[in-house]
With several copies, the nearest count.
Chain A
Amino acid sequence: MPVVTLGEAIASYVRDGDSVALEGFTHLIPFAAGQEIIRQGRRGLHLIRMTPDLVYDQMVGAGCAARLTFSWGGNPGVGSAHRIREAIESGWPQPLAISEHSHAGMAAAYTAGAARLPFGILRGYIGTDLATVNPAVRAVTCPYTGERLATVPALNPDVTILHAQKADRAGNVLISGILGAQKEAGLAARKLIVTVEEVVDDLGAPMNAVVLPHWVVTAIACVPGGAWPSYARGYYSRDNAFYIAWDEVSRDRARFTDWIARYVLGTPDFNGFLARLRADGVGP
């Protein structure tokens, strides 16, 4: 299990048209990886994520995505994900097909994916229009009680990308704190890329901690700060100010495009991205 640069990992394992899940539920969101995908100009991706917030707002606005599978898409505590909104509302920069679920449905779909079952079941979508607009939401009858239960098809992304606190030199990965559906999304994927805050000799993981063994990880890249402006427990906290500021940046096409051009396309990598933000006095 090789430790490579993020650029190498994306170049090697993310292809145009792939289904790609960048997971992390407000915590450990792989922002650096999302920006590297923008930087390398991937197109036609099927983006999968429970909460497409700023990371997918950037990728959708930059034109990477053709489809989005999700259950909540906004700027948490702030408001809209303007780029995702505009893609859905007016097809800019390109139309975005959506497959919309509830959180419980997405979670069941990842869980089924990790278990390599073709579908997951939940007592869900009851009385909602979600089941109407999303043909993927179906039903099975319980062979014991006769109850009808909702089903969702398993999610098995071509690539899942996670950000974690630590990997050891063998490539075992430790995730701690708010876990979201990261383990399920990681194990459901055909390829798993993990960016980490640091590579250490010993994970020092508690016995029942969430550890992804090296042999399920396709590649690891050490990207300190790679979850910013989200956070990495034990390393840095959530940059709420950036989330609030993003509302203005993303509201306007031109301003967003300039931001991507200057900070993402105009920089060689995540360190360059941070350096330019700092040079402009807006960096963490």
Chain B
Amino acid sequence: MTVRAATPPWTADEMMTVTAARMLWNGCVCFVGIGLPSAAANLARLLHAPQIVLIYESGTIGTRPEVLPLSIGDGELAETAGTVVPLPEIFAYWLQSGRIDVGFLGAAQVDRFANLNSTVIGPYDRPQVRLPGAGGAPEIAAHARQVFVVLKQSARSFVPKLDFVSSGGFLTGGGARRLCGAPGAGPQAVITDYGILKPQPGSDELALVARYETVTAADAVKATGWPLVVAEQLEVLAPPTAAELEVLRALHARTQIAHSRPVKLPV
């Protein structure tokens, strides 16, 4: 017996976080970015995946933070890590070496072949909006065995053509990725506030394969900047359970308190 409501008792972020967390398995080695991916990975750790291995690009391996980091290098990540290694080592020995099961990425824009833009809106030389840039994403996208993308869906973020390719997904589709020398399988799921998109065999084009029960496929198509393919068998995702929401909200609450603690320098 599930609740159905126009405005359910959880936020879109919570729904996305819970959905992403459910896709991670116990023991999975996960290369985590800040924000929603970090929340999802730690939620999974606190729920069904206690042995998940979380790696942040700051060099913290096997970290188990009590509260979510605001930055990729918060002290909490180091203090609770199994080991902390130099940053060049993280990218060479741990990511490029093919040891990452799941790389978790966000972006400003995604296209139908799951290529990502986190660099610039408008021309690179005369940007309308200069974004922070790629950071670790290009090599996470290339080397992780699979990549999960988490991004709210809208015609402005799900675009027919990226202004800039920061991280390669399936490039031009149709197997182009396999020819380019990227070792990983690429983006295997895009988790949005409408549901889950996955690349279709052969074309590599993203299709809506699952939706939240609060939305329709038509809603998702409307929120996409290209004619979105919808799978014939469209799965309906179970809503967050009370347990999932409780653990997630407690995590955010702990985080809130920790981050608002005033810092005093030893004078």
A–B contact with Cβ pairs below 8 Å: the answer is: yes
Residues of A within 8 A of B (CB): 25-27, 50-51, 70-74, 76-78, 80-81, 84-85, 88-89, 100, 102-104, 107-108, 110-111, 114-117, 122-130, 133, 147-148, 172, 177-181, 183-184, 187, 205, 207-211, 213, 215-216, 224-225, 228-229, 231, 233, 235-243, 274, 284
Report the bound CA distance from A133 to B183 in whole Å.
23
Q: Which residues from A are CB-within-8-Å of B59?
A: 25, 178-180
Take A27-B73, A126-B168 as given contacts and tell me if A180 and B86 are in contact as well, using a CB distance cutoff of 8 Å.
yes
The reply to whether B88 and A129 contact each other, CB–CB distance below 8 Å, is no
A–B Cβ pairs within 8 angstroms, 9 of them? A102-B136, A107-B91, A115-B97, A123-B142, A127-B177, A178-B58, A183-B93, A207-B84, A237-B75
B134 within 8 A of A: yes
The verdict on A104 contacting B266 (CB below 8 Å), with A126-B180, A181-B86, A233-B75 known, is no
Render B148-167 as a binary contact track against A, CB cut-off 8 A, 1 for contact. 00000000000000001111
Residues of A within 8 A of B97 (CB): 114-116, 187
Closest 5 CB pairs of A and B: A127-B168, A26-B73, A74-B132, A72-B135, A76-B71
Q: Would you call B57 and A103 a contact (CB within 8 A)?
A: yes
Report the Cα distance A208→B97, complex, angstroms: 21
**Number of contact residues on B: which range applies?**
35 or more
* B residues less than 8 Å from A148 (CB atoms): 181
Say yes or no for B144: interface residue by CB 8 A criterion: no
Per-position contact with A for B238-267: 1 when CB-CB < 8 Å, else 0?
A: 000000000000000000000110111110
- Whether A115 pairs with B73 at a CB distance below 8 angstroms is no
With a cutoff of 8 Å between Cβ atoms, the chain A residues found around residue B266 in the complex are 224-225, 235-236
- Judge whether A89 and B127 touch: CB under 8 Å: yes
> Which of A102, A177, A241 lies in contact with B260, CB distance below 8 A?
A241
Residue of A nearest to B35 (CB): A77
Q: Which residue of B lies closest to A229 (CB)?
A: B263
Q: Which residues of B contact A130 (CB under 8 A)?
A: 119, 134, 138, 166
Partner of A172, one of B82, B85, B124, B165: B82
Whether A180 contacts B143 by the Cβ 8 Å rule is no
What's the dominant secondary structure at chain A's contact region? Answer: loop
Contacts of B86 in A (CB 8 A): 179-181, 183-184, 210
Interface of B is mostly: loop
Nearest CB in chain A to that of B118: its residue: A72
Count chain A CB atoms within 10 A of each CB in B71, B127, B139 and give the residue with the most.
B71
A26, A117, A213, A284: the one contacting B71 at CB < 8 Å is A26
Q: Let me know if B78 and A233 touch, CB within 8 A.
A: yes
Query: Which one, B92, B127, B129, contacts A122 given CB within 8 A?
Result: B92
Q: Is B115 an interface residue, CB under 8 A from the partner?
A: yes
- Contacts A74-B131, A100-B119 aside, 16 further interface pairs with beta carbons under 8 A come to A27-B73, A71-B134, A77-B69, A85-B130, A100-B133, A107-B91, A117-B92, A123-B143, A127-B168, A209-B83, A210-B83, A211-B82, A215-B29, A235-B266, A241-B262, A284-B263
User: Contacts A102-B135, A205-B83: A123 and B167 contacting too (C-beta < 8 A)?
Assistant: no
Q: Evaluate whether A27 and B78 lie within 8 angstroms (CB atoms) in the complex, with A126-B138, A274-B265 already known.
A: yes
Bound form: Cα–Cα A179–B87 in Å: 7
**Smallest CB gap from B70: residue in A:** A77
B135 touches A238 (CB 8 A): no
CB distance from B109 to the nearest CB of A (A): 12
Write the nearest CB–CB distance from A233 to chain B, whole angstroms.
6
Cβ–Cβ contact A108 & B133, under 8 A? no
A-side contacts of B142, CB under 8 Å: 123-124, 126-127
B231 at the interface (CB under 8 A from A): no
Digitize B56-95: 1 where CB-to-A-CB distance is under 8 Å, 0 elsewhere: 0111111000000111111101110111111110011101
A178 touches B84 (CB 8 A): yes
A225 adjacent to B265 (CB under 8 Å): yes
B137 interface residue per 8 A CB criterion: yes
Contact residues in B for A178 (Cβ distance below 8 Å) = 58-60, 73, 75, 77-78, 84
Q: How close is A240's CB to chain B, nearest CB, in angstroms? A: 4
Which chain A residue has the least Cβ–Cβ distance from B134? Answer: A102
Tell me, yes or no, whether B49 is within 8 Å of chain A by CB.
no
Inter-chain CA distance A103–B29, complex, in Å, is 20
Residues of B within 8 A of A224 (CB): 265-266
Q: Are B167 and A128 in contact (CB under 8 A)?
A: yes
For residue B35, which residues in chain A have a CB less than 8 angstroms away from its CB? 77
Cross-chain contact B34 with A76 (CB below 8 angstroms): yes
CA distance A26 to B73 in the complex (A): 5
Given A216-B99, A238-B75, CB of A228 within 8 Å of CB of B134: no
Query: Bound complex: CA of A211 vs CA of B60, how far in Å?
Result: 12
Interface centre among B82, B88, B98 (most CB of A within 10 A): B88
The answer to whether B53 has its CB under 8 Å from any CB of chain A is: yes
| A175 CB to nearest B CB, Å | 10
> Is the C-beta of B96 less than 8 angstroms from some C-beta in chain A?
yes
Which residues of chain B are near A180, meaning CB under 8 Å?
A: 58-59, 73, 86-87
For B60, give the chain A residue with the smallest CB separation: A178
